[in-house]
Structure 1
Amino acid sequence: MATGWAGDDAVQQQIDATVEDAVKRARAQLASGPGREQCEECDALIPPARRAAVPGVRLCVACQEQADADAQAQSGINRRGSKDSQLR
């Protein structure tokens, strides 16, 4: 297959680089340190099991779900991958 200057594994290298960047961004957003006992948003008590499972936890489950949904809506990443949507 004629690829011009690109190597045979250029597509895989691009995919790997994209995944690596996404992992780095996700790791940078992870909280660390001691977790809070009460939610920053609604002041609800955060269960000890959640504090043990999630280091540096700041939000209760309900508020975390809302924050995740808000972040997903604002991400702006085109996950559909159709050529038509990429041309816009």
Structure 2
Amino acid sequence: MAGGWTRDGAVQDQIDASVADAVDRVRGNLPRGESLHHCEECDEPIPEARRRAVPGVRLCVACQELQDKQQAIDSGYNRRGSKDSQLR
């Protein structure tokens, strides 16, 4: 069902594009390469178990938690202006 000047399927196209953008953003944040032995933020040692569990890890658990919280705050912006963004 189209509304106004939009064509049929335009809303679904926006939803699909939002999902694809989110997947691309998350994939881009995945660690790559060799794990570091010390956190690149605070220089604390990264435990061997974490380095094995998360290949390419670059941050200690504490710094990773801070980064994750900051990304959650920053990701609240919906550039497509969907109704979901108005409900937050």
Q: Tell me how far apart the structure 2 counterparts of residues 71 and 65 of structure 1 sit (CA, whole Å).
A: 10
Give 1:20's aligned residue. 20
Give 2:49's aligned residue. 49
Give the AA of the match of 1:81. S
Change (3 A) 1:74 1:61: same
Give 1:62's aligned residue. 62
Give the AA of the match of 2:11. V
Q: Tell me how far apart the structure 2 counterparts of residues 66 and 33 of structure 1 sit (CA, whole Å).
A: 22
Q: Can you give the 5+ residue segments of structure 1 that lack an aligned partner in the other structure?
A: none
Structure-1-length-normalised TM-score: 0.73
Query: What CA RMSD, in Å, does the superposition of the two structures yield over aligned residues?
Result: 2.5
Q: Tell me how far apart the structure 2 counterparts of residues 82 and 59 of structure 1 sit (CA, whole Å).
A: 34
Give the AA of the match of 1:14. Q
Give the AA of the match of 2:46. I
Q: Tell me how far apart the structure 2 counterparts of residues 76 and 44 of structure 1 sit (CA, whole Å).
A: 30
Give the AA of the match of 1:82. Q
Change (3 A) 1:17 1:6: same
Q: CA deviation at 1:72?
A: 2.6
Give 2:86's aligned residue. 82
Cα deviations across residues 6-47 of structure 1 (Å, max 9, x unaligned)? Answer: 11x322221011100111122122220000111112222212
Q: Tell me how far apart the structure 2 counterparts of residues 82 and 73 of structure 1 sit (CA, whole Å).
A: 16
Task: Count matched residues.
Answer: 83
Task: Determine what percentage of the aligned residue pairs are the same residue.
Answer: 53
Q: Can you give the 5+ residue segments of structure 2 that lack an aligned partner in the other structure?
A: none
Cα deviations across residues 36-84 of structure 1 (Å, max 9, x unaligned)? Answer: 111112222212221122121011000111112223333451595337x
